[in-house]
Amino acid sequence: MAVMWALSFVVPLLVAATIAALSLGAGEARTRARELVVQYAWLAVVPTGIVASLDDGALKTVDWMLFGTAIRLDEVGRPLVLLAVILYGIALAFVPRSISERPAGLNGFLLLCFTANVGVFVAANLVTFYLVFAAMSFLGYAIVVHDRTTSARRAGAVYLVMTVFGESAVLGAFLLIASEGVTDVLDVPAAVAASDARDVIVALLIIGFGVKAGTIPLHVWLPLAHPAAPSPASAVLSGVMLKAGIIGLLRFLPLGEGAAEPLWGGLLVTLALVGGLLAAVVGVLHDNPKVILAYSSIGQMGFITALIGAALLEPAIAPAAIAAAVVYSVAHGLIKGALFFSIQVWDLSRAPTWAVVVPQTVAALGLAGAPLTAGFIAKYVSKESLGDVALPGLPVVALADLLPWFAVGSTVLLARFAIAMSRRSRRRTAGKPISTTAWAVLALAAAAPVWWLATGFAPPLTVPGWFSPGPVVDQSWPFLLGIALALAAAALARRPRFRDARLLHPRGDIVPEGDVVVLLERATGGTMRGVIRASGVLGATRDALVERVRRGPSPMPTVSGVQARLGTWVVSGALAVAALAGALLFVVLAGGGG
Amino acid sequence: MTTLQLFMYAGAFILVLGVAATLLVRDLIRRLIALNVASGGVMLLLLALADRGDGEPDPVPQALVLTGIVVMAAVTGIAIVLARRVEQLDDDLEEVEQ
Amino acid sequence: MNDDTVTVMSALPVVLLLTSLVPALLIFALREKQTVLRTTLNLAGAIAKVVLVIVLIPRVVAGEELRAEFTWIPGLDIVFVTDTFSLFFVALSAGLWLATTIYAVGYLEGSPNRSRFFGFFSLCVTATVGIALAGNLLTFLIFFELLTLVTYPLVAHRGTRAALRGARIYLAYTLGGGVALLLGVAWLTLEVGPVEFRAGGIPEVAEFAARDPLTATVIGAVLLLGVGVKAALFPLHGWLPIAMVAPAPVSALLHAVAVVKAGAFGIIRIVEDVFGLALFAELGMLQALAVVASVTIVYGSVRALAQDDLKKRLAYSTVSQVSYIALGAALLSPIATAGAIVHMVNQGFMKITLFFCAGLFAEELKLSKVSQLAGVGRRMPVTSAAFTIAALGMIGLPPFAGFISKWALGLGGLDAGQPWVIAVLLTSTVLNAAYFLPIIATIWTSPRSESEGSDEGTFPAPARRSGWEAPASLLLPAVATALFVILFGVAAGWDYSPWVLAQIVGEGAWP
């Protein structure tokens, strides 16, 4: 088992290193060898898939690495690892024919991200987690900025700034946790619950992992990064990398331990609800399908964060909430990945339009939570896991009743996505049938693994039957309401009176991508300029002080003046001799002793 | 004030005078002379310390002073040569600049 | 130096010194044209030193201590001792000297006065090793001053007006520090007699401090002032950015190995092996040192943000990073002590890699400013990769070496009951990221046309038959040190890794 794990980490690293080595020189043979490696790079994820399916869940340690590295595959990690294997595998297969240039570089970095991402899901102690989390975050920069356009570089810069702050917060939290004497991840929630610095730790964890998970107001990098990155990279970003933030919250927050946390739980839930609303409202004002999907991800991540917040509010529901969060993450990952891949398939594949639209529609329905889809199962499971939890300030409204409104927002967003996609032209330049088929299978069959997963978690989770009327009605009304709203908006937009209304025909110019990011950019720019100016001022002050000291009152003129006058004073010689004589006399008379 | 203290204060005073002049004066030969004055002050100090006990004067500081005289002679010789060389180079530099 | 170390009289410490002293003296006698002989002497000395160190490490870790002593004046001895901490610093110096020698041979090819340069270069390492092996304050002082004197010609090597001015300012600062050190050492020896370094503090000093705490505090402050100039503590750091006029190998050596680390080494020796941590804390000096170190950490990073000149930015980064060592030494926790000691090695390797890469950019493409580095990643990928690795290590990201020291310092701060250390560390991390990440982003992602002062669209192609991006003698040391940066982080649990050795050394300070 340990050997298999070593292989599963080493193989992608080796393939990436091979790609790097083959890129260094020039020459026909090298380029062709590199293309071959890039074509089959997706095979590198297979060892991980195998070991994740077969592993027994025991702790495996490497004592000589860093401060002692340890991994363990538990029931929270396993589904996510398998999700990563599927999405990264398809992404690696999609890259060689994608629109972006330099597929070799993209594949290399995707492989590295894959290793780090899987590491996040299996890390068993604090240092290991921080290692892979930081690695994944900074490698993410490489895939966001891959196309090197101006917008990609801007997205990359915003991503980096947010990541640095997130990493620092996580580091601070981890140091505080480590000082409690805990290293194993399984012991952390109890230690945090019992710690004196609990509030500080929880705050830092929420900030640090919130950046990754797209929690408002730390979500600003998401809508910039997704359109800038190539489609396979966006798929992986939304599908798997955001889940790293979720697993951070799941592993390290004191869920189910000790007393409830009304403050933090309430905060998380509020942020999640606001995020869901914001995502829907701002997302429909955009035109670029990737941006719309990005805002959809923000909303969906908010949904999962709401589950976590509820677990903080009511520790009794924690096991069910955690399980529901995992199920929802897997469902969202599979479907969102499929939707992002579908953009590339639409653009490049030579398959007929109906063959692309059908899986796309099925996936979209899944996201909205229509019956018979993965989303249906995930949303039902989540709703049931919440029980009667309510917001601290509003005991009347049960959280479980607020969640379906997320589905309304998702449906509206997906309707907008459909419109945006329909306006997009199909270039049909390249496309391998095999990878397109793999994508279609992913989109159509996403419900199966999710249902299997949900039933695997059975004790804390109540899984819906496929055709039981109660759940179907419960899940259908938000979806139908969303469709109704979308149709109403479309009908309104067609009326001649509103032909030119910007609000009804949004082209992404009402709210900029990343909404608040413009303010943040200005603030950061201002701060940087201020700090640089302060630094310059410090330097100038120091130099001025040194100059003042150097040019200060010099005794030299006085001394030279005195010297000159003494030197030319005729009497000075005689005085010197007299003084000498006096001293000698004194010495002789005083007896010379003592 | 005992003789010992007188010598020590005088030595210290001359030392400080010499060192200050070495650091502050521009001209190289004057600096050299100031350094010699400073060494004179040090020697005075050492000789005073030689007499600090009750019995015979301590021979070690006296030996150090003798060594110091020899060292200062050698240092002054080298310094004069160096000063001449520096002034020569400065003259060359001025010629080149003109 | 605890009770179960076996002390053996041996000439090996002196031999360690001679491996660089003898080549130095021989190289001074060589003519300019005798390149092969000079390079051979250089490399022979460097390799001999490294081999000796490798032979000695297992013995010293097992508890054996070598000692050599000479009497200078009756009552004052010159003592060389190889305890774990000495050998740690000697190992760092020897390893980095070898790398820098190879680099310098390539960098200075064809320039004048190479015999003079390499002579003083070897003397510089001799002085550093002397500082490392010093067994008492007197020996330490002698070699500390020697280091000042032999680094002056290196800083002034180019001979230009700016170089001479920079060297003069450097000399003014370091000689001033030397005077303070002399005062402190003489005063302390006067009060307690000639004493040797002892892990955990010298008992006579503790007695003296019990008798007269005020004088002990003043002596401690003066000693720290003396070594603090070389260790670039605020506000004594002014010489570092100015000494950047030196050629790249000198900057690399000064800022990674010799001068700055000697200062940091001195701080740790004084705090732990002269006064002892507990005594220093009682006198209140430990808190003062912690505050000064923290101020330096933030100040250095803030100043670094504004610098466009690459070497100046790296210089201010050094000012900030060396104070991590001082901060670790100022915390009452074994983890913090170990963290400070391991940061000597980690920061040394990371900084030297950065300076090697800066020198490579300057030599190959004449680039010295950050704004000029746009798009260099295409033309010099290996150099840029080494730079990226070292820079990410400086920010403190795992699995690079810098993370090990940062984590240890953070834990140490909490262990010592000073949680504000975490705030300082996090601020410093963010600031480090602020001035390193833009460089990395520019190097890899910016198109060439955005660089200042670039007329053509691309860089000139490599001018050598092998097609490599830069001369091998410059590139290989950079790659080697970058690999060590990765290795020291990833394999930190290996029996002879710097982290494990640092923990052994740190334990010694807590008897």
Phi-psi region of C367 (alpha: psi -120 to 50; beta: other; left: phi over 0): beta
Kindly identify which residue of chain B lies nearest to residue A554, measuring between CA atoms.
B24
Kindly identify which residue of chain A lies nearest to residue B56, measuring between CA atoms.
A593
Kindly identify which residue of chain B lies nearest to residue A559, measuring between CA atoms.
B21
Q: For residue A444, what are the contacts with CB-CB under 8 A and spacing of at least 6?
A: A358, A359, A362
Arch. (CATH architecture) of B3-97: Orthogonal Bundle (1.10)
Percentage of residues of chain A with pLDDT beyond 70: 96
Q: Dihedral of the CA atoms A10, A11, A17, A18 (nearest 10)? A: 150
Question: Which residue type occupies A492?
Answer: L
Across the strands, what pairs with C196? C136
Average pLDDT over residues A32-36: 86
Confidence band of A592 (pLDDT split at 50, 70, 90): low
The C-alpha atoms of residue A241 and residue A116 are separated, in whole angstroms, by 10
Kindly identify which residue of chain B lies nearest to residue A563, measuring between CA atoms.
B21
pLDDT of residue C139: 93
Local structure of residue C493 (DSSP, 8 states): T
Q: How far is A589 from chain B (nearest CA, A)?
A: 11
The C-alpha atoms of residue A373 and residue A446 are separated, in whole angstroms, by 7
Question: In angstroms, how far is the first alpha carbon of chain C from the final one?
Answer: 10
Confidence band of C120 (pLDDT split at 50, 70, 90): very high
Q: Which residue has the tokens 């090990």?
A: C404
Question: Which residue type occupies C13?
Answer: P
Q: For residue C203, what are the contacts with CB-CB under 8 A and spacing of at least 6?
A: none
C302 contacts in chain A (CB < 8 Å): 531, 534-535, 538
Average per-residue pLDDT in chain A? 85
CB count in 10 Å sphere of residue C57: 18
Average pLDDT over residues B60-67: 94
State the best of A19, A161, A175 to mutate against chain C, taking most chain C CBs within 10 Å.
A175
A559 contacts in chain B (CB < 8 Å): 21, 24
Directed axis angle between helix A318-348 and helix A447-456, to 10°?
A: 170
Least confident piece of the model among A175-184, A335-344, A464-473, B16-25: A464-473
Interchain proximity A593–B25, CB inside 8 Å: no
Directed axis angle between helix A150-178 and helix A198-213, to 10°?
A: 160
Interchain proximity B3–A592, CB inside 8 Å: yes
CB neighbour class for A408 (10 Å; exposed up to 12, middle 13-18, buried from 19): buried
State the best of A556, A562, A588, A589 to mutate against chain B, taking most chain B CBs within 10 Å.
A556
B neighbour chains, 3+ CB pairs within 8 Å: A
Interchain proximity B24–A593, CB inside 8 Å: no
A554 contacts in chain B (CB < 8 Å): 24
C398 contacts in chain A (CB < 8 Å): 66, 127, 130-131, 134-135
The C-alpha atoms of residue A544 and residue C252 are separated, in whole angstroms, by 29
The C-alpha atoms of residue C407 and residue A178 are separated, in whole angstroms, by 10
The C-alpha atoms of residue C479 and residue C390 are separated, in whole angstroms, by 10
The C-alpha atoms of residue C482 and residue C476 are separated, in whole angstroms, by 10
- Counting one residue from chain A and one from chain C, the pairs whose CB atoms sit within 8 A come to 105
Directed axis angle between helix A262-283 and helix A404-422, to 10°?
A: 30
The C-alpha atoms of residue C444 and residue C436 are separated, in whole angstroms, by 13
pLDDT of residue A500: 67
Note whether B12 contacts A: Cβ–Cβ < 8 A. Answer: no
Interchain proximity A168–C494, CB inside 8 Å: no
A555 contacts in chain B (CB < 8 Å): 20, 24
Tell whether the model's pLDDT for residue A486 goes beyond 90.
no
The C-alpha atoms of residue C406 and residue C397 are separated, in whole angstroms, by 9
For the sheet with C6-9, list strands across it. C6-9, C64-73, C76-82
Kindly identify which residue of chain C lies nearest to residue A166, measuring between CA atoms.
C430
Directed axis angle between helix C401-415 and helix C498-508, to 10°?
A: 30
Interchain proximity B24–A590, CB inside 8 Å: no
Note whether B47 contacts A: Cβ–Cβ < 8 A. Answer: no
Average pLDDT over residues C397-414: 93
pLDDT of residue A242: 94
pLDDT of residue C450: 60
Average per-residue pLDDT in chain C? 89
The model's pLDDT over A118-143, given as tens digits with 9 standing for 90+, comes to 999 999 989 999 999 999 999 999 99
What residue spans define the domains of chain B?
3-97
The C-alpha atoms of residue A119 and residue A72 are separated, in whole angstroms, by 10
Interchain proximity C306–A535, CB inside 8 Å: yes
Kindly identify which residue of chain C lies nearest to residue A133, measuring between CA atoms.
C398
Q: Which residue has the tokens 């120091």?
A: A542
Considering only CB atoms, B3 lies closest to which of A554, A555, A590, namely A590
The model's pLDDT over A384-403, given as tens digits with 9 standing for 90+, comes to 888 777 777 777 777 887 88
B21 contacts in chain A (CB < 8 Å): 559
The model's pLDDT over A230-263, given as tens digits with 9 standing for 90+, comes to 888 999 999 999 999 999 999 999 888 877 788 8
Note whether C441 contacts A: Cβ–Cβ < 8 A. Answer: yes
Tokens of C216: 């002990």
Q: How far is B23 from chain A (nearest CA, A)?
A: 11
3-state secondary structure of C134: strand
The model's pLDDT over A525-577, given as tens digits with 9 standing for 90+, comes to 888 888 888 888 888 888 888 788 777 777 777 877 887 887 788 787 888 89
Confidence band of A97 (pLDDT split at 50, 70, 90): low
Which has more pLDDT, C327 or A425?
C327
The model's pLDDT over C192-232, given as tens digits with 9 standing for 90+, comes to 988 888 888 888 999 999 999 999 999 999 999 999 999 99
Note whether C433 contacts A: Cβ–Cβ < 8 A. Answer: yes
Strand ranges, E, within C138-236: none
pLDDT of residue C232: 92
Which phi and psi (to 5°) does residue C134 adopt? -60, 135
Average pLDDT over residues C475-493: 93
Average pLDDT over residues A482-497: 82
Considering only CB atoms, A131 lies closest to which of C303, C398, C437, namely C398
Helix segments in A145-237, DSSP class H: 150-178, 188-194, 198-213, 222-228, 231-236
The C-alpha atoms of residue C223 and residue C137 are separated, in whole angstroms, by 10
Question: HEC string of A246-263?
Answer: HHHHHHHCCCCCCCCCHH
CA-nearest of C200, C475, C231, C434 to C343 is: C231
The C-alpha atoms of residue C219 and residue C225 are separated, in whole angstroms, by 10
pLDDT of residue A394: 73
pTM listed for this prediction? 0.90
CB count in 10 Å sphere of residue C71: 10
Q: Is residue A335 a contact partner of residue A240, using CB atoms and an 8 Å limit? A: no
DSSP states along B73-92: HHHHHHHHHHHHHHHHHHHH
Across the strands, what pairs with C79? C69
3-state secondary structure of A356: helix
Confidence band of A594 (pLDDT split at 50, 70, 90): very low
Interchain proximity C302–A531, CB inside 8 Å: yes
Considering only CB atoms, B24 lies closest to which of A555, A592, A594, namely A555
Note whether B69 contacts A: Cβ–Cβ < 8 A. Answer: no
Kindly identify which residue of chain B lies nearest to residue A591, measuring between CA atoms.
B3
Note whether C305 contacts A: Cβ–Cβ < 8 A. Answer: yes
Considering only CB atoms, C414 lies closest to which of A67, A127, A176, namely A176
Q: For residue A554, what are the contacts with CB-CB under 8 A and spacing of at least 6?
A: B24
Least confident piece of the model among B32-46, C22-36, C64-78, C456-470: C456-470
User: Of chain A residues 495-534, which have a CB less than 8 A from chain C?
Assistant: 528, 531-534
Helix (H) or strand (E) holding A333: helix A318-348
Interchain proximity A138–C397, CB inside 8 Å: yes
Buried-state track C26-47, b at ≥16 Cβ within 10 A, e below 16: bbeebeeeeeeebbebbeebbe
Note whether B25 contacts A: Cβ–Cβ < 8 A. Answer: yes
CB neighbour class for C92 (10 Å; exposed up to 12, middle 13-18, buried from 19): buried
The CA distances from residue A442 to A220, A239, A296, A331, A447, in Å, are 29, 13, 19, 11, 9
What residue spans define the domains of chain C?
306-511
Helix (H) or strand (E) holding A324: helix A318-348
Note whether B98 contacts A: Cβ–Cβ < 8 A. Answer: no
- For chain A, the farthest-separated pair of C-alpha atoms sits apart, in whole angstroms, at 127
Q: For residue A130, what are the contacts with CB-CB under 8 A and spacing of at least 6?
A: A170, A171, A174, C398
